[in-house]
């Protein structure tokens, strides 16, 4: 007998800048890392353009390769102690997750954060009970490769329908995973940059996702 979960549709979400307004705490940890290592921090705009990529790759854009391990260590020491200073779920996120769950969707996070860190952050933001799986990027290709999305869907044994994110990396990864893409302008990349990635939907809020997904999966109620 086939597992009915295999037939259930799933929606995949990025985490930072998509479900959670976390940019101030992320930027503060970058500044701390550069300061700790005696280096001048780049501008917030320069950092913001790269957020969503792996930590090592971001630091490598602004520092010599031999400084990157110390910068990463300083960031990873600082961020978990301060990631709740200002970070909060964006308006409407919890309600939308609740409605999608009632409609029968499985919900997953697919993030460039490592899984253990992502799970801690999701719990700190009060979102654990609203999600079915949290998938970080642990030793495999990062977005815009589709690997983290496909691993999340594999863990749920579900059929992916939409990828929801706030960066061009999310949009490109969603397309590579053959999902429809919903780009939010309230996070890391602005509307102009996101538009160039040609998402299926470009919105400044998450509530329109409820209409976007309506009817895209046979057997899903609502």
> What gap in Å lies between CA 54 and CA 188, rounded to an integer?
15
Q: List the structure tokens of 81.
A: 């102690």
Can you say whether the dihedral through the CA atoms of 199, 202, 207, 210 is positive or negative? negative
**Residue with the two structure tokens 């009632």:** 102
Instruction: Catalytic residue, from 16, 25, 166, 170: name it.
Output: 16
Q: Is 16 marked active-site? A: yes
3-state secondary structure the chain: CCCHHHHCEEEEECCECCCEECHHHHHHHHHHHHHHCCCCCCCHHHHHHHECECHHHHHHCCCCHHHHHHHHHHHHHHHHHHCCCCCEECCCHHHHHHHHHHCCCEEEEECCCCHHHHHHHHHHCCCHHHCCEEECCCCCCCCCCCHHHHHHHHHHCCEEEEEEECCHHHHHHHHHCCCEEEEECCCCCCHHHHHHCCCCEEECCCCCHHHHCCCCCCCCCC
Instruction: Catalytic residue, from 14, 25, 49, 170: name it.
Output: 14
Q: Is 14 marked active-site? A: yes
Catalytic site positions? 14, 16
């Amino acid at each position: 007998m086939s597992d009915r979960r295999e037939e259930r549709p799933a929606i995949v979400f990025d985490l930072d800048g998509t479900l959670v307004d976390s940019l101030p705490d992320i930027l503060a940890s970058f500044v701390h890392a550069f300061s700790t290592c005696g280096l001048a921090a780049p501008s917030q705009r320069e950092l913001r353009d790269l957020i969503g990529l792996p930590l090592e790759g971001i630091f490598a854009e602004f520092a010599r390769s031999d400084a990157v391990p110390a910068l990463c260590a300083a960031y990873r020491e600082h961020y978990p102690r301060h990631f709740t200073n200002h970070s909060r779920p964006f308006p409407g996120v919890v309600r939308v997750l609740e409605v999608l769950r009632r409609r029968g969707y499985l919900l997953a996070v697919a993030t460039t954060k490592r899984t253990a860190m992502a799970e801690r952050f999701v719990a700190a933001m009060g979102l654990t009970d609203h999600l079915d799986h949290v998938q970080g990027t642990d030793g495999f290709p990062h977005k815009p490769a589709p690997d983290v999305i496909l691993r999340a869907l594999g863990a749920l044994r579900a059929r992916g329908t939409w990828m929801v994110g706030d960066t061009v990396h999310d949009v490109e990864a969603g397309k590579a995973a053959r999902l429809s893409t919903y780009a939010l302008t309230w996070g890391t990349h602005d509307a102009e940059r996101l538009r160039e990635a040609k998402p299926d939907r470009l919105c400044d809020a998450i509530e329109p996702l409820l209409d976007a997904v309506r009817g895209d999966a046979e057997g899903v109620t609502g």
